[in-house]
Chain A
Amino acid sequence: MIEIFSDLIWGARISLYFIAVSLPLGFLAAIVMAFGLTSRGPTYYLASSYVYFFRGSPLFIQLYFFYFLARSLGVHKAELWGFEFDFLLGTLFIAPFVLFLNTTAYSAVIFANALRAVPKGDLEAAEAYGFSPLKKFWRITWPSMIRIAWPAYGLYQRSGVFVFEHGHRLFFHPADPNARG
C-alpha cells in the first residue's frame, strides 16, 4: 500500500513538471493564436484550422500521432554539428510538447472571445488620445482581455490540470488490451 502511494507521489512529480512546462508556454502561444483567430485573411485560416485540429481530436490520439510521426520521420536519428536529437522522442520532451500544442488551442479560443469582448469605446478613446498601436495594446487591449478571459481561463485550467495528469498517464501506459476487472 505504502509502495503504491510512494509511486503515485513520485509520478506526481512528473505531472508537475509537465504542467510547469506546458502551461506557461501554452499561455503565451495562446495569446498569439488569439490574435490570429480575431484577424482577417490567411492568418485567420491558419489559426482556426490549428484550433480546429487540436480541439476536434482526442488528446490521446494527438500524443500517439506526434510520437509516431516523429519516429517514422526519423527525427531522433538526425544529427547536426555533433548534436543528437534523440531527446525529441523522449517522453519528457514530446508529452509536454503535445500538451503545449493542445492547451494552446483550447486557451486561444478563450482569449479570442475575450479579445472580441474588449470594449470598442476604450479602443476608440485610446486612438483619440493618439496612443501608438503598441501603447494601445499594453494599456487598453491587454488588461481588458486578461480581465475578461481570466475566469474562463481559470476554469479551463482547473480542469486542464487534470487533463494533463491523465494525458501523461496515458503516455506512460499505452493501451493494455487485456485490462479488465
Chain B
Amino acid sequence: MFEWFLSFWSEDWQAFFIYITGGAHQAFYRAFLLNIFVTAVSAIFALGFGIAGASMARSSNPIGSTVGRLYINMVRGIPDVLFIIFFPLALTLIIKIVRTWTLCEAGTPLFEGINFIGCEASNFLTSPNSWAAYFYNLLMACLSLGIVFGAFAANVIRGALSAVPEAQLETARAYGLRERQVFWRIQVPQMWVYAWGGLTNIWMLIVKSTALLSLLGIQEAVWWALTKLGPPQPRAFVGYVHGDWTVFYIFILLIFFLMFTYVSETGFAWGKRRIGRGMLTS
C-alpha cells in the first residue's frame, strides 16, 4: 500500500501539484471570488436601476413614465451581450469626448469616419495594469450588468407593485395615510413577496452572465481558464508541460456555476418561506 503510494507520488505528480498550487492557479482560484463579487455588486446596481425604472414607469409624470417604459422595453428587447459590450465602450467614449473638449486645444477633430481621434490628453487610464484601470473596468462591467438586468428587475417590480391587492391600499387610505405613506408602508413591503420569484430569476441571469465578462477584459475565472491556463503549455521553464487542458478548466467552471446556482436556489427557497410569512399567498 505504502509502496504503491510512493510510486504514485512520483516526481511527475509532485511537479503537477506544485503547478496547480502555483501563482497562476492561485490567481485562477481567486478569480472565482471576483465572479461572486461582480455578481453581488451588479445585483445591487440592478436592484437600484430596477426600483428607479419601475417608479419612473409608474409615475404620473408623462416624461418620467415615458423614459421609464422606454428603458424597460428597449433594454429587454436588445440582446444583453450587446449592451454589456456597448455601455463600457460608450461611457469611455463620452469621457474621452468630454476630455477632448476640456483638455485639448480648440478645434481638435473628434472623429475621422467612425474612429475616435482626439489628442494625447483625451486618453485616460492608458496603462492597462494600473489599479485605477482595473477598478474602472470592474465598475464599468458591474454598471453595464446592472443597467441591463435593472430593466428586467424594473419590469418585475412594476408588476409586483400592481399585484398588491387594491383593498390593502384602500384600507390604508381609509385610515388616513398619505399617498407617500401608503406607498412606502403598505405597497413596497407587500411588493417583495410578489417580486421575489422574478428577482431571484434575475439573480440567476446575473450569475450566468458573469461568464461574459471576459469579453470586457475582466480577468475573472473564465478568462484565466480560456486564455491563460487551458491552452497547451509546451515550454518547461514556464511551468508544467501539458497539452490542451481547456476542457478540464471549463469543467471546473461548469461545476462552479452549477454549485453557485444550486446554493442560490437553496437560499432563495429559504428566503421565499421567510418573506411570505404572515401573508396570504399560495
Contacts and interface: CB of A to CB of B under 8 A. Distances in A.
Interface in A23-46: none
B122 interface: no
Interface in A62-77: 62, 64-65, 68-69, 71-72
B217 A61 contact: no
A162 B244 contact: no
Contacts of B161: none
Contacts of A159: 76
A177 B254 contact: no
A65 B257 contact: no
A64 B250 contact: yes
Given A71-B244, A181-B92, A58 B209 contact: yes
Given A162-B78, A175-B222, A180-B137, A58 B212 contact: yes
Contact of A177 (B89, B93, B212, B223): B223
Interface string B227-267: 10010000000000000101100110110011001100000
Contacts of B88: 180-181
A131 B217 CA distance: 61
Contact of B244 (A68, A163, A176, A181): A68
A181 B87 CA distance: 10
Interface stretch (A85-93, A111-119, A144-152, A165-173): A165-173
B119 interface: no
B97 to A, nearest CB: 12
- Chain A contact residues (Cβ within 8 angstroms of B): what range? 20 to 34
B254 A65 contact: yes
B258 A179 contact: no
B139 interface: no
A176 B89 contact: no
B211 A163 contact: no
- Chain B contact residues (Cβ within 8 angstroms of A): what range? 35 or more
Contacts of A176: 215, 217
Nearest to A177: B227
Contact of A179 (B209, B215, B219): B215
Nearest to A161: B79
A18 to B, nearest CB: 13
A181 B89 contact: yes
A104 B258 CA distance: 18
A124 B115 CA distance: 68
Interface in B63-100: 76, 78-82, 85, 88-89, 91-93, 96
Q: Determine the main DSSP class of A at the interface with B.
A: helix
A57 B211 CA distance: 9
B6 interface: no
A1 interface: yes
B208 interface: yes
Given A1-B114, A57-B257, A65-B247, A169 B81 contact: yes
A70 B46 CA distance: 37
A119 to B, nearest CB: 18
B244 A57 contact: no
A17 interface: no
A52 B217 CA distance: 29
B211 A179 contact: no
A68 B250 contact: yes
Interface in A82-108: none
B250 A61 contact: yes
B219 to A, nearest CB: 8
B214 A175 contact: yes
A163 B212 CA distance: 13
A176 B89 CA distance: 14
Contacts of B216: 179-180
A175 B258 contact: no
Lowest 3 A-B CB distances belong to which pairs?
A181-B92, A166-B81, A68-B247
5 contacts: A58-B210, A170-B215, A179-B85, A180-B217, A181-B96
Given A61-B254, A177-B223, A177-B227, 11 more contacts: A52-B258, A56-B257, A65-B250, A68-B230, A159-B76, A162-B78, A166-B80, A175-B214, A175-B215, A176-B215, A176-B217
